[in-house]
Amino acid sequence: MAYLQRLGVPLRRVAMQSRVFAASYHEKVIDHYENPRNVGSMNKEDSDVGTGLVGAPACGDVMKLQIRVDGDGKIVDAKFKTFGCGSAIASSSLATEWVKGKTLDDAGEIKNTTIAKELSLPPVKLHCSMLAEDAIKAALKDYKGKQDKMESTC
């Protein structure tokens, strides 16, 4: 809704309503889009950052999920960017919220079914949650790869 205020366009009573028209979207999915949390980028060259880039533009779904891990193996920050439908955006946004504060192993346990349940995704959108799980795993793999490389060069 901050949207409309920014626009400053005089409209016929559109500004006040916060409920949305799309019958098939769950409120939580809308919320992740309208109030995005953790949208952004980290420097992927940083040694404590793991980047997962999954999906394909040809499929209409691309997610980039990045995690920053501290010395104790705990994820302290996460950022995402997504090219995809509302459910894909919500799934990846939720993924970044959930990985924050978790250890690498716990983050790897996050399942697409839990994401789907939290967002009440309809069956046709389940693949969005699967891609989010893949994105988490890809970020973890990338981070581990960096750690292994660093150890081998030390």
- Closest approach, Cβ 27 to other proteins, in A, equals 11
Q: Residues 61, 88: contact at Cβ < 8 Å?
A: yes
The minimum distance between CB 111 and other proteins, in angstroms, equals 16
Decide whether 77 or 133 has the Cβ nearer to other proteins: 133
Question: Which residues of the shown chain bind other proteins in the complex (CB under 8 A)?
Answer: 3, 6-7, 9, 11-14, 17, 19-23, 25, 30, 33, 36, 39, 41, 53-64, 81-89, 124-125, 127, 130-131, 134, 138
The residue among 62, 73, 85 whose CA lies nearest residue 138 is 62
154 part of the active site: no
**59 catalytic per annotation:** yes
Dihedral pair phi/psi, residue 12, rounded to 5°: -80, 95
* 92 close to 80: Cβ distance less than 8 angstroms: yes
**Cβ closest to other proteins, residue 56 vs residue 154:** 56
Render 103-136 in DSSP notation, one character per residue.
BHHHHHT--HHHHHHHHT--GGGHHHHHHHHHHH
Q: Which residues are catalytic?
A: 59, 128
